[in-house]
Amino acid sequence: MLQPAVKKETRNVLIITIIGVALMLIVFTILHLIIPDKVPLDYKVFLGGICGGAVAFLNFFLMALTVQKVAAMEDRDQATKMMRLSYSRRLGIQCIWIVVAIFAPCFNAAAGIIPIFFPSLGIKIYGIFRKDLKTPTAPAPEAQPADNGPDASQSENG
């Protein structure tokens, strides 16, 4: 069962990914109109974008599931191992997708790979504009002379 916060962030990442893929397809369309010889606009672009977006979303969703599970664990060493294993698996999925996007003739490689970056980029942009995510910075502590003990002056002077 997904926790409410995980559900909310997963939904946000899905929306971010869909918007990113849509914007990417718009850019492909504009570039195709300007330089049709260099930028294709066919089913391969759309298929690559949709599948790349799905892989990007799947990566985030699997990470969210792992973080939720790890947060409930009491054994920190086991939790760390689980996070590392999850990261390795998710990275493996992305690497496999990149190879498939490059070599499978049914995908446009660029359109398949670019969406992998949308969740991370979207979360960063979203974080910039969300005021409730920003934490106030603590005032800087006043400068006070350091107490280095009675021998500190001798070691400083030689």
Q: Where are the domains of the chain?
A: 4-119
pTM of the predicted protein model: 0.77
pLDDT number for residue 126? 83
Question: pLDDT under 70 in the chain at which residues?
Answer: 131-158
> Residue 91: its pLDDT value, please?
96
Residue 121 pLDDT: 93
Q: Are 10 and 64 in contact (CB under 8 A)?
A: yes
Give the position of tokens 């979207």. Answer: 122
Place of tokens 């973080």: 67
Q: Find the DSSP H helices in 35-157.
A: 43-71, 76-103, 109-113, 118-129, 152-157
